A and B are shown apart, each in its own frame.
Chain A
Amino acid sequence: MREASSSAGTAGGDVLTLTAEGLYCPAGGFHIDPVRPVERALVTHGHADHARPGNGAVLASRETLDIMAIRYGEDFAGRRQQARPGEVLRIGEVRVSFHPAGHVLGSMQVRIETAQGMRTVVSGDYKRQADPTCAPFELLACEVFVTEATFGLPVFRHPPAAEEIGKLLKSLSLFPERTHLVGAYSLGKAQRVIAELRAAGYGRTIYLHGALERLCAYYQAQGIDLGSLEPVGRQAKELAGEIVLCPPGQLADRWARRFGDPVTAVASGWVRVRARARQRGAELPLVISDHADWDGLRETVAQTGAGEIWVTHGAEDALVHWCRQQGLAARPLNLLGYGDEGDAAEPAGKGKAAETAAGIGSET
């Protein structure tokens, strides 16, 4: 963790500082996506590495508040307040507004404007690709842009999701006697894969591992059409030729044995790299990511018009290097605790505990 003082002397440093808990806005008295409990937290989205329980007060989108309640129970924070997209709130000496980030349902960027009119945008996690399950990314002009960089290497360029779904359907026609088991994170990725399958004309019932049920039900309750879904429950070999979704950690675990000889697919941006795909047990890698790819990151940085770029979790070095080549002031934040939960999740899993961990892991 950098010292808070290291951000002094820059434009962004006047608005945000780094503390042990994460990004902090002294003028507003709040943290954004704190990694430890704080008095007042602004939460960009519901993934476990950004939304944690135990804060005094949470300000977030309605969907993010709902998702936190589903995952952590109704008492996940002392107080909660809903942020409507685009609505400007006065907090302390700054004006704050939430804007869609296109990452998962309810995901938001946070814009902070000082009395002097200087605007800082904290992106949270975001993507520029279309996603039928959430509001699209809203481009915000600003002076300081705090961007994620999960896929901040030029080797990461995500293909259109429909192409990847096509691979899954082609495999299903080639191996109609085998269950197709798709590893997808329970918040966002699973629902997006289902929605993309529906968009491709796949009308059969899609079967779910228990860890995915509640969030899929929530998405459907929010009016997102996922078609016919059914828990796997005790079904096993009778699901030959069907598509079954589960958390990635379950692909190589005992739970998966019931299907005999399934085709194992993994939906993740990481599986673009073969060694990573194999590590995850993917026989059918589906490069579907809820994060901006290298082109998306660069495009967004340029479009915000920001002169100062802070790069948080991910491959910070490469994006900082690129920003500096473009003449932008850029610094890596080296924030700890973000974006690595799904990555670090032990693939073996340990029964119930692992199901939960895999279920709430961040998109990776």
Chain B
Amino acid sequence: MQRFAALLDRLSFEPRRSAKLALMADYFRSESDPARGLALAALTGGLSFRHAKPAMLRALVAERVDPHLFELSYDFVGDLSETIALIWPAAEGGEIAPPELPEVVQRLQQAGRGEAPGMIAGWLDALDETGRWALLKLVTGGLRVGVSARLAKTAVAALGPLQADDIEQVWHGMSPPYDGLFAWALGEGEPPQTDDPVPFRPAMLAHPLEPRDIEALDTADFAAEWKWDGIRVQAAASKGQDGRLRRRLYSRTGDDISAAFPDLVETLDFDAALDGELLVVIDGIAQSFNALQQRLNRKTVSAKLMRELPAAIRAYDLLALGGEDLRERPFRERRALLERFLGQLDHPRIDLSPLVPSPDWEALAKAREAPADHHEGEDAAAIEGLMLKRWDAAYVPGRPKGQWYKWKRDPFRVDAVLMYAQRGHGKRSSYYSDYTFGVWREGEEGAELVPVGKAYFGFTDEELLEIDRFVRQNTINRFGPVREVRHEPQAGLVIEVAFEGLNRPPRHKSGLAMRFPRVARLRWDKPPAEADRIETLLALLPQDEVSAAT
């Protein structure tokens, strides 16, 4: 437990991805089974404990600490687990051996409601501050140390010659503490044998199409299809050895998102693995990403939400059928099998993503510029560009060169005025690298700037230095790490911001939310007075949201 605590402690302060990987790899290498497997489970969100709730922890600490002193401390620290960890009085009667992680996990999972508090109190007595903090984070289920499941798996892969995708492939057939996984990753053992009938098959990804590719490539070698504005998913269903049908919906990175989409998952009555785009489809019309977004990142979903925003899959590819792995076959064959499979399936929530005729680059360029003129359905608004897939390409995990290309629609652009700048983190902590920008609107006293978004990438290192210098020389106000900079009609910095789409955040009716806003260009030549107005942005909102905006 102490070593796991030290790992969480370092991770929680470490902003760098590479250093987080190094810290985790160091821990996995030097820790033994099953502790490291349980640590991996904790980091990937695979452990939960029913009986450890904040109210129970508060009651525990109230037995040991003067309530007034606790409140003063909680007020200062601001985090319940951390306050308890720091304030917990040293146990009387000398040192108790601190528990090991496997003991904590095993005993607490088996404990009844009445036993859990005493168990946790005993461990708190035996651990130091960092150990207590880690224990409380572990049992309450919110580690929040800035590590995604994917990053933790990448750290396992980094122990040896494996890639994160290799881990993903066996991941869903295993459960904590992942026997054999580390030995395999370290090159000391065989791949873990899993009998998972619906494993995640690591996704094949595309490179952005560059101008030089257009010169070099022949469109006859490629299938072209629409790139839909949802999220890439894999829908798999198959019978296990027990004869029971298993169904799963995976995100592109291998997260199991089945629980959020029961409306779709429960209808996967086939023996196959599909690659496709998850979309909200109403009356056969794919909706904007905004609609889908309301259904993402949920552990459960209400009947109302499923009714109002029904999920569907627009299929791109077929990875397995009837127990046969198709990934080695060329796309041409897979596509033909996919079309036949979907024809027979006749599923109301799964349809085929149509191909786009691609006689030459000119035709493709036109289709990309005006999807509505080249797509028969009424949902061209949900198209975000074209995909080009080599007819003879196998389905290869990762981003193999020269096989798949994405040719996205041009981004939207707006000229906005820099209003506030904030220091970055980690390597950027001495730079003002997070920018809040605004556009003009008509206020009660004439034109005024209203903040519409934030951007913290897109610029070069040199541009970062230039903006940093501008911020320091034009500061008019300071709020902690934030500086307000000059933003007047004739004095200030205009930033050309590129973004992929615009919507109104569902939870608050005011304000706009840009997708992937980034700094496209610095317009030192442009006075702020000539920056864009709010009306330019409002025109980009989906029609049903405009009324709420004005």
Contacts and interface: CB of A to CB of B under 8 A. Distances in A.
B83 interface: yes
Nearest to A277: B13
A321 B69 contact: yes
A38 interface: no
B22 interface: yes
Most buried by A among B10, B66, B69, B426: B69
Given A157-B129, A273-B82, A274-B79, A253 B430 contact: yes
B430 A318 contact: no
B429 A325 contact: no
Contact of B77 (A155, A157, A175): A155
B342 to A, nearest CB: 50
Interface in B333-364: none
8 contacts: A154-B87, A155-B76, A155-B86, A159-B128, A257-B430, A274-B82, A284-B10, A321-B66
B109 interface: no
B23 interface: yes
A50 interface: no
A283 B14 contact: yes
B72 A153 contact: yes
A329 interface: no
B396 interface: no
B13 A273 contact: no
Contacts of A277: 13
B175 interface: no
B79 A281 contact: no
Given A174-B22, A278-B13, A284-B13, A154 B77 contact: no
Interface in A255-282: 256-257, 261, 264, 272-275, 277-278, 281-282
Interface string A228-270: 0000000000000000000000011110110001001000000
A282 B12 CA distance: 11
A315 interface: yes
Contacts of B68: 318, 321
Nearest to A260: B427
A104 to B, nearest CB: 25
A171 B76 CA distance: 29
Of residues A264, A273, A347, which shows the largest number of chain B Cβ atoms within 10 Å of its Cβ?
A273
Interface string B109-145: 0000000000000000000110000000000000000
Interface of A: 153-157, 159, 171, 174-175, 251-254, 256-257, 261, 264, 272-275, 277-278, 281-285, 315, 317-318, 321-322, 325, 346-348
Nearest to A317: B72
Contact of B22 (A175, A254, A283): A175
A81 B194 CA distance: 81
A156 B12 CA distance: 20
Contact of B69 (A251, A264, A318, A348): A318
Nearest to B78: A275
B83 A155 contact: yes
Contact of A174 (B16, B26, B69): B26
Nearest to B431: A257
A284 B77 CA distance: 18
B15 interface: yes
B91 interface: no
Given A154-B86, A274-B79, 18 more contacts: A153-B69, A157-B86, A171-B10, A257-B430, A274-B13, A277-B13, A281-B429, A283-B15, A284-B10, A284-B13, A315-B72, A318-B72, A318-B73, A321-B68, A346-B478, A348-B423, A348-B478, A348-B481
Contacts of A322: 66, 69
Which 7 A/B pairs are nearest by Cβ-Cβ distance? A155-B86, A252-B429, A155-B73, A283-B13, A154-B87, A318-B72, A153-B73
A325 B66 CA distance: 10
A169 to B, nearest CB: 14
Contacts of A253: 430
A154 B82 contact: no
Contacts of B73: 153-155, 318
A6 B471 CA distance: 50
A174 B73 CA distance: 34
Given A174-B22, A174-B23, A281-B429, A274 B12 contact: yes
Interface in B9-35: 10, 12-16, 19, 22-23, 26
A175 B13 contact: no
A347 B69 CA distance: 30
B203 to A, nearest CB: 31
A203 B420 CA distance: 46
B65 interface: yes
Nearest to A347: B481
A323 to B, nearest CB: 12
A45 to B, nearest CB: 26
B282 to A, nearest CB: 44
A85 B16 CA distance: 49
A277 B478 CA distance: 21
A278 B83 CA distance: 16
A254 B82 contact: no
Interface in B56-85: 65-66, 68-70, 72-73, 76-79, 82-83
B65 A154 contact: yes
Contacts of A274: 12-13, 79, 82
Contacts of B426: 283
A152 B345 CA distance: 70
Nearest to A322: B69
Contacts of B129: 157, 159, 272
Contacts of A317: 72
Contacts of B26: 174
Interface in B475-528: 478, 481
Contacts of B23: 174
A175 B70 CA distance: 38
A295 B87 CA distance: 11
Contact of A256 (B128, B430, B478, B481): B430
Nearest to B75: A153
A272 B9 CA distance: 11
Contacts of A318: 68-69, 72-73
Contacts of A273: 76-77, 82, 86
A322 B66 CA distance: 9
A285 B82 CA distance: 15
B6 to A, nearest CB: 8
A144 to B, nearest CB: 24
A259 to B, nearest CB: 10
Contacts of A171: 10
Contacts of B69: 153-154, 318, 321-322
Nearest to A283: B13
A347 B73 CA distance: 25
A318 B68 CA distance: 8
A58 B517 CA distance: 60
Nearest to A250: B430
A269 to B, nearest CB: 12
A315 B481 CA distance: 25
A181 B537 CA distance: 45
B479 to A, nearest CB: 12
A284 B14 CA distance: 8
Contacts of A154: 65, 69-70, 73, 86-87
A164 B437 CA distance: 42
A346 B475 CA distance: 15
B38 to A, nearest CB: 22
A283 B18 CA distance: 14
Contacts of A156: 86
Contacts of A283: 13-15, 426
A78 to B, nearest CB: 38
Nearest to A275: B78
A156 B69 CA distance: 12
Nearest to A263: B19
Nearest to A281: B429
B77 A275 contact: yes
